[in-house]
């Protein structure tokens, strides 16, 4: 079990994008229903720009049953069509996220433990400072119910349950809410020309 994280009093948003948390995505295994991992292929060099993570080849692996699958970005003409992050499905294989729970009458989700920790730091902060444009920044785009001081304790409790769930992997640990809903975000047609490495 992970040690308790100290509650920060101040959070500084330097423009972190959601795509930065797509390097490791915990999902429900399509074969056994346990926890599987979606990550870039291991032999690839780190990308020059984090946005290239949406175009990189991925592998889904489950240590519980040995399931393996690979994802490659689609093509439109000579360009690659990137994945679109957000929602309760992973952006690559469209599998239900392993880390999701009901919270404040809605669904609280995260890609992995690092994502949960970043959200916990933001939600738990009493003072939030923005040092970047909110256009694509993850924290600025969070729904109002997650940012509300009135819901802070409820959201922090939900994030604590997600953090504990990140350490579990058997099919019996699968959250009841983690099933296919088809609620991924609308595709906005991101294209990339060149090598996504």
- Residue with more model confidence, 9 or 41: 41
CA–CA dist 36, 91 (Å, integer): 14
Closest of 117, 99, 120, 109 to residue 166, by C-alpha: 99
pLDDT exceeds cutoff 80 at 8: no
pLDDT exceeds cutoff 80 at 185: no
CA–CA dist 93, 185 (Å, integer): 14
Give the pLDDT band (50/70/90) at residue 10: confident
Indicate the average pLDDT of the chain.
Answer: 85
pLDDT exceeds cutoff 50 at 187: no
- Residue with more model confidence, 49 or 144: 144
Query: How high is the pLDDT of residue 103?
Result: 95
pLDDT exceeds cutoff 80 at 139: yes
Query: How high is the pLDDT of residue 188?
Result: 47
CA–CA dist 106, 83 (Å, integer): 24
Give the pLDDT band (50/70/90) at residue 2: low
- Using one digit for the tens of pLDDT, what is the confidence trace for 90-102? 999 999 999 999 9
* Mean pLDDT computed over 129-148: 80
């Amino acid at each position: 079990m992970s040690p308790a994280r100290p509650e920060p009093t101040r959070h500084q948003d330097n423009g972190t994008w959601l795509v930065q948390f797509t390097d490791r995505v915990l999902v429900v295994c399509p074969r056994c229903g346990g926890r599987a991992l979606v990550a870039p292929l291991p032999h690839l060099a780190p990308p020059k720009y984090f946005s290239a993570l949406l175009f990189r080849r991925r592998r889904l692996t489950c240590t519980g049953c040995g399931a393996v699958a690979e994802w490659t970005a689609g093509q439109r003409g000579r360009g690659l069509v990137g994945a679109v992050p957000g929602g309760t499905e992973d952006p690559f294989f469209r599998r239900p996220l392993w880390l999701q729970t009901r919270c404040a009458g809605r669904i609280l989700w995260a890609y992995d433990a690092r994502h949960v920790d970043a959200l916990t730091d933001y939600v738990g902060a009493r003072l939030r400072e923005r040092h970047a444009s909110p256009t694509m920044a993850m924290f600025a785009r969070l729904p109002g119910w997650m940012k509300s001081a009135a819901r802070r304790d409820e959201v922090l409790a939900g994030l604590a349950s997600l953090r504990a769930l990140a350490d579990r992997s058997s099919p019996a640990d699968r959250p009841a809410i983690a099933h296919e809903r088809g609620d991924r975000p609308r595709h906005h047609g991101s294209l990339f020309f060149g090598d996504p490495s």
